[in-house]
Amino acid sequence: MEGGAELLGHFIKRDLWDEARVIIAPVRYMAGTPAPLFNNASVRTLASGPDKIDFHTHQQAPAEEWSW
- pLDDT digit string, tens, across residues 44-61: 899 999 999 998 888 766
Instruction: Say if pTM beats, i.e. exceeds, 0.75.
Output: no
pLDDT computed for residue 65 by the predictor: 66
Strand 44-48 to 51-57 pairing? antiparallel
Domain assignment present for residue 67? The answer is no
Rounded CA separation 50/2 (Å): 22
Q: How many domains does the chain have?
A: 1
Domain region containing 30: 5-57
Q: Kindly give the parts of the chain with pLDDT less than 50.
A: none
For 34, residues 6+ apart whose C-beta sits below 8 A from its C-beta are 5
Give the strand order in the sheet containing 19-24. Answer: 19-24, 51-57, 44-48
Domain assignment present for residue 47? The answer is yes
pLDDT computed for residue 61 by the predictor: 63
Domain assignment present for residue 63? The answer is no
Domain assignment present for residue 62? The answer is no
